[in-house]
Structure 1
């Protein structure tokens, strides 16, 4: 049958084994220090392996392949969400709330959670999450974020943006808010590529 399935470029593969570890169906194994798709019918075509590959050796292709059956006796791992509070939109977030106190703050462009498949586990663990889009939202995030930083005891901030130029506005808003709050806060940052990988 014609369906979407992963393709591994063995020349690009660096043998790290990350794809095999995250493949919930057991479709990928390491053979001679190279990742190999060992069973087409185990591959669900969802591509959990794509964003973890540091070498860009995995891609999707649509071709004739055995129908997805799943690994016999293997149950796909179900991940619980890491969201700790509601609402998550910056423009809807309250200025003060108990969950802000001594919190580690994650401020993310909303596209990042869709582009990077393991976003919850990689970035949201033990953090209060606020999201927005500096291009589509007609508001200055720095004012709201400044007020949140002034009114609450925040431990540190992580900013996650897409590689596209308009996402620079998210970083600028956080930098301005930290400066205007007068607080000495450590700011970590990560950039997600449009292919779903972490660039920095």
Structure 2
């Protein structure tokens, strides 16, 4: 079948291994110090690896390729868990800046002293929609917050009011290329998401992040409770 799949330019690849770390399906590995697509049927064509590559060595192409085999990928992950080797790990370690990590802050911590910074409510890394994998342990049973980049700067209590107890995904449809719909659809489809909150600014360009979330909800085929909160430029919640 002809489908969208990644292609790696070995001349541009610097061998950092960031793409192999970002590919949770295990489709990419390191061969002779360079990244390589190991199996077509492990590549889902969503491109988590693209933003992780610092040299732009990875692109999408349309070519004859085996269909994505989700069952084979899941079986590989199960085998990796049984042998206590993370399926998304790579020999080179990958780029620390985009490596997936659950932070799990204490939800019931005491208030911070007056001379110290309040505790962050961020529960995972990364947070950018473009960098997040479509499957991760922290998504299971999660409440999702999809927030426009500017919202956290508009409201001082953003961590406590919106991020606390939620997995945070941020983006700006005006600055990022492409649409978030496909990525968000796969996150909702592949994980047990309990509820979804979208926080946007009142400005028109923020409509893109709301539309992507709404389209993803429809395309996921799931019924998930959701809400949209709109902030004014002064940080007030608009009715």
TM-score (normalizing by structure 1): 0.61
Q: Residue 130 of structure 1: SS of its match in structure 2? A: strand
Of the three residues 151, 154, 158, the one matched with 1:112 is 151
Q: Residue 105 of structure 1: SS of its match in structure 2? A: strand
Q: Residue 168 of structure 1: SS of its match in structure 2? A: helix
1:149 is aligned to 2:195: no
* Ranges in structure 1 where 5+ consecutive residues have no aligned partner: 1-73
Of the three residues 139, 151, 160, the one matched with 1:100 is 139
Paired residues for 1:128-139 under 5 Å: 128-139=167-178
Structure 2 Cα separation of the partners of residues 144 and 77 of structure 1: 37
1:195 is aligned to 2:210: no
Structure 1 Cα separation of the partners of residues 179 and 114 of structure 2: 45
Structure 2 Cα separation of the partners of residues 76 and 109 of structure 1: 30
Of the three residues 208, 216, 230, the one matched with 1:177 is 216
Structure 2 Cα separation of the partners of residues 131 and 75 of structure 1: 29
Paired residues for 1:3-152 under 5 Å: 75-76=114-115, 78-152=117-191
Per-residue CA deviation, residues 110-163 of structure 1 (Å, 9 max, x unaligned), is 100011111000000100000000111112101000010111000010000000
| Cα distance change on mapping 1:77 and 1:142 into 2, 3 Å | same
| Cα distance change on mapping 1:159 and 1:97 into 2, 3 Å | same
Per-residue deviation, 1:195: 1.1
Of the three residues 197, 200, 218, the one matched with 1:161 is 200
* Ranges in structure 2 where 5+ consecutive residues have no aligned partner: 1-112
Match of 1:65 in 2: none
Per-residue deviation, 1:93: 0.3
Structure 2 Cα separation of the partners of residues 198 and 76 of structure 1: 29
Higher radius of gyration, 1 or 2: 1
Match of 1:63 in 2: none
Question: Over aligned residues, Cα RMSD in angstroms?
Answer: 1.3
Q: How many residues align?
A: 127
